[in-house]
């Protein structure tokens, strides 16, 4: 089975559900913070209509969720906006879940998934018993694919066993888990009925109908034979606001804890987003990394969230001077890295601190380090009320890391203050004195993972196209516009907007970042900067949006992914390049351009209004697209198109991928190169 696996980056802002919030206020119980229903279906009543019976529904998706018929076969019930979407329900001794919930790799266990599922088991089984995991019906989701939860359940008193012969093993068990099965025989259904009638518990796990990998009909055969008051919907539940990085990873805290005792907090597999942990700092590695010990004796390596301090001499090989605006001396950075470590030790060594997390960031990075905020007692008055993350930036020992951090723009203002006052590392920063690099006439460009550009009505007119792919290029079409001459860039001068078909400033294609060949002899940076000035009349900084899920995806960019373009701009008289997460009139004011790459969550109307005001006041909007690189890329593509529509432009990213086996970079047809320029556009001279 093909599955969608993206690097987890941005999570939507998780709100407190009305049901959960009210119930917690009444009971005073501590609850799990939320549950992630990765790739989930919804549930229906026994007539395949909306399930609205609160005595059956255990959990709803967040109010921001919607559902759709993802496999387009016309058999999904679409919940209207006014009805909550159920994703878990219980009837008799049977609980149905729209998602697998505890699959290794699909969930991070930083919410309450494993705790929720084990609470359901405890409610039925009292904390112990034999639970069969059915593998006798061709299931993809075998027990081995949920090994973390298997160990967790066994550590908490259960004997969890896989079975390839359900009929033979059923009566030696107390419960059975059935995930997306093949057909059940009449005999098997009758045995399951008798098993439940005699007190056995059954747990049914569906999945979204994305690409029709689900076996919803077979699960409904089981639910129907057992006479349950719920059925599974042949749909997919999506949430662009409350999610774990993508809209098919909805996160919810809408719990029916008036009826079900499934949501009590307990020790889980991971750290919980919603908790604050009191820990002791046992070691300070450098200014942005410490080790801590929890009260139970467990330890974690903490990467201080939202910032970078310079590397110390021990790790100087990992320093990237391009990330430090106006600084080019690596030895200087190493020296300040040592100072930052000394200062961090003076603040944190052996101190008891509060560790907590950001709702827009994962709890762990790809290296397994915990990403956290630390709050500590700076003044010695007994109050842990100083946020170390902000304080190290304020002291001038750190730069802000451009991710989807909820505190990003606040931290950035703190950094700008430290820079204005020449504190510590910034005392040597002089962007205007940076050496000029790569500024020359535009001879050739490359467009990694390129799409072509179209309009809402079809092909874009030649008069609007400054750059075409070479005649050797072809399109891999997915229902888009077919071209003879393939446009890679198009402009809409009426709203100061351009659509570019590739991530032309991505540092992934820099030799010093590990790319196979040197691309510094291409003029991507020159062209883009000329394009910015051609579209608008601003003179301020260039901004790039990082607040809509762009961080951590190979089809999008944040400022962290374009450090070499930052260095190019500095060499052009000190033009500043910054990430921005909160798109408002204030945050855009004074900038010359806003660059937007494919988002994973939609712009709010207020944000679109701010961008519209920005371009109407002379700012440039450049939309950098990317070809379809994942089965679910249609959504980021659509969200990028929505930004174009929001400012009144007819430009859209085409539904294709442009490849060129003859003219490309590093022999890769998916990185087409071109020299086909319309020189009537003033975009091809050196910038300076």
- Residues 215 and 91: their CA atoms lie apart, in Å, by 20
Per-residue confidence (pLDDT) for residue 8, from 0 to 100: 29
217-222 long-range contacts, CB within 8 A, separation 24+: 218/137, 218/180, 218/181, 218/182, 218/183, 218/184, 219/96, 219/178, 219/180, 219/181, 221/183, 221/184, 221/189, 222/178, 222/181, 222/184, 222/189, 222/192
Sign of CA dihedral 253, 259, 264, 270: negative
97: region left, alpha or beta (phi > 0 left; psi from -120 to 50 alpha): beta
Secondary structure class of 678 (helix, strand, coil): coil
pLDDT at res. 171? 94
Reading the block at residue 225, the tokens are 């034979």
Query: How many CA atoms, within 13 angstroms, populate the side-chain half-sphere of residue 254?
Result: 22
Q: What is the per-residue pLDDT across 383-414, written as a single tens digit (0 to 9) for each?
A: 999 999 999 999 999 999 888 889 999 999 99
The Cα–Cα gap between 324 and 428 comes to 10
Q: Token pair for residue 240?
A: 């662009």
Q: For residue 366, what pLDDT is reported?
A: 67
Q: Which of 218, 235, 231 is nearest to 40 (CA)?
A: 235
CA distance 362 to 8: 7
288: Cβ–Cβ under 8 A, 6 or more apart, which residues? 303, 304, 307, 308, 309, 340, 344, 392, 398
How big is the chain, counted in residues? 688
Tokens of 654: 């085409």
Distance (Å, whole) CA 606 – CA 584: 8
For CA atoms 504, 507, 510, 514, the dihedral sign is negative
Residue 4 has a pLDDT of 21
Element (H, E) at 205: strand 201-205
pLDDT at 296: 85
Residue tagged 């001879």 (tokens): 443
Helix (H, G, I), strand (E, B) or coil at 517: coil
3-state SS class at 630: coil
The first and second tokens of residue 462, run together, are 């030649």
> Residues of the chain whose pLDDT is less than 50?
1-29, 630-632
**pLDDT at 33 (0 to 100):** 84
pLDDT recorded at residue 443: 97
277-429 CATH pick, 2.40.50.90, 2.60.120.260, 3.40.50.300, 1.10.645.10 = 2.40.50.90
Cβ atoms 624, 504 nearer than 8 A: yes
Judge contact between 20 and 112, C-beta under 8 A: no
For every residue of 321-356, DSSP letters joined together read GGGSTT---HHHHHHHHHHHHHHHHHHHTT-EEEEE
Q: What is the pLDDT of residue 150?
A: 95
3-state secondary structure of 257: coil
DSSP-derived secondary structure letter, 359: T
| pLDDT for residue 125 | 97
CA-CA distance, 637 to 481, in Å (whole number)?
Answer: 15
> 3-class SS at 32?
coil
Strands 236-238 and 66-68, how do they pair?
antiparallel
Every domain of the chain and the residues it spans: 35-255, 277-429, 447-677
Instruction: Identify which of 320, 480, 317, 306 has the alpha carbon closest to the alpha carbon of residue 398.
Output: 306
Residue 668 has a CB neighbour count (10 Å cut-off) of 16
Are 57 and 272 spatial neighbours (Cβ–Cβ below 8 Å)?
A: no
What gap in Å lies between CA 382 and CA 192, rounded to an integer? 60
Query: Which neighbouring-strand residues pair with 400?
Result: 307
Q: At what angle do helices 605-616 and 634-646 cross, to 10 degrees?
A: 50
């Amino acid at each position: 089975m093909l599955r969608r696996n993206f690097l987890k980056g941005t999570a939507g802002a998780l709100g407190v559900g009305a049901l959960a919030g009210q119930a917690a206020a009444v009971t005073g119980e501590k609850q799990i913070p939320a549950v992630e229903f990765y790739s989930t279906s919804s549930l229906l009543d026994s007539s395949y209509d909306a399930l609205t019976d609160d005595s059956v529904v255990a959990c709803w998706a967040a109010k921001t969720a919607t559902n759709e018929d993802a496999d387009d076969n016309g058999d999904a019930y679409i919940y209207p906006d006014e009805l909550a979407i159920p994703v878990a329900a219980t009837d008799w001794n049977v609980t149905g879940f729209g998602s697998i919930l505890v699959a290794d790799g699909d969930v991070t266990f930083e919410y309450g998934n494993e705790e929720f599922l084990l609470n359901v088991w405890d409610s039925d089984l009292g904390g112990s018993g034999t639970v069969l995991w059915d593998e006798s019906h061709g299931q993809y989701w075998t027990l081995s694919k949920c090994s973390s939860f298997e160990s967790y359940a066994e550590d908490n008193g259960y004997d969890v066993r896989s079975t390839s012969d359900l009929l033979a093993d059923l009566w030696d068990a107390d419960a059975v888990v059935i995930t997306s099965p093949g057909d059940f025989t009449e005999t098997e259904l009758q045995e399951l009925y008798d098993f439940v009638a005699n007190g056995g518990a059954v747990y049914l796990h569906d999945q979204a109908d994305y690409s029709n990998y689900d076996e919803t009909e077979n699960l409904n055969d089981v639910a129907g034979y057992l006479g349950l008051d719920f059925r599974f919907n042949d749909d997919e539940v999506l949430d662009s606001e409350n999610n774990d990085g993508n809209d098919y990873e909805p996160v919810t805290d809408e719990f029916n804890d008036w009826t079900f005792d499934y949501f009590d907090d307990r020790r889980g597999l991971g750290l919980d987003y919603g908790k604050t942990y009191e820990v002791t700092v046992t070691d300070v590695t450098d200014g942005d990394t410490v080790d801590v010990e929890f009260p139970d004796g467990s330890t974690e390596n903490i990467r201080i969230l939202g910032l970078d301090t310079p590397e110390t001499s021990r790790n100087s090989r990992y320093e990237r001077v391009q990330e430090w605006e106006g600084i080019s001396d690596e030895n200087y950075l190493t020296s300040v890295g040592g100072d930052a470590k000394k200062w961090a030790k003076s603040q944190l060594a052996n101190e008891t601190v509060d560790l907590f997390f950001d709702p827009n960031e994962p709890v762990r990075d790809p290296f397994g380090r915990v990403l956290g905020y630390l709050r500590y007692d700076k003044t010695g008055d007994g109050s842990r009320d100083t946020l170390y993350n902000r304080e190290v930036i304020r002291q001038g020992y750190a730069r802000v890391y451009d991710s989807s951090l909820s505190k990003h723009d606040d931290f950035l203002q703190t950094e700008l203050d430290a820079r204005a006052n020449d504190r510590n590392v910034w005392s040597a920063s002089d962007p205007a004195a940076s050496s000029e690099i790569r500024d020359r006439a535009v001879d050739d460009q490359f467009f990694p993972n390129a799409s072509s550009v179209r309009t809402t009505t079809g092909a874009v007119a030649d008069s609007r196209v400054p750059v075409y792919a070479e005649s050797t290029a072809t399109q891999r079409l997915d229902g888009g516009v077919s071209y003879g001459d393939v446009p890679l860039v198009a402009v809409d001068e009426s709203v100061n907007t351009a659509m570019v078909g590739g991530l032309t400033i991505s540092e992934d294609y820099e030799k010093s970042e590990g790319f196979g060949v040197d691309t510094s002899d291409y003029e991507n940076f020159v062209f883009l900067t000329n394009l910015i000035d051609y579209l608008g009349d601003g003179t301020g900084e260039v901004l790039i949006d990082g607040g809509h899920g762009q961080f951590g995806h190979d089809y999008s960019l944040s400022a962290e992914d374009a450090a070499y373009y930052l260095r190019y701009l500095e060499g052009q008289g000190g033009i500043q390049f910054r990430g921005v997460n909160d798109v408002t009139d204030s945050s855009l004011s004074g900038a010359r351009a806003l660059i937007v790459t494919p988002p994973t969550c939609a712009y709010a109307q207020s944000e679109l209004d701010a961008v519209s005001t920005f371009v109407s006041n002379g700012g440039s909007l450049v939309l950098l697209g990317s070809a379809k690189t994942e089965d679910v890329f249609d959504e980021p593509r659509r969200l990028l198109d929505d930004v174009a529509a929001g400012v009144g432009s007819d430009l859209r990213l085409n539904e294709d991928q442009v490849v060129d086996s003859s003219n490309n970079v590093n022999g890769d047809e998916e990185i087409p190169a071109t020299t086909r320029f319309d020189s009537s556009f003033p975009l091809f001279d050196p910038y300076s």
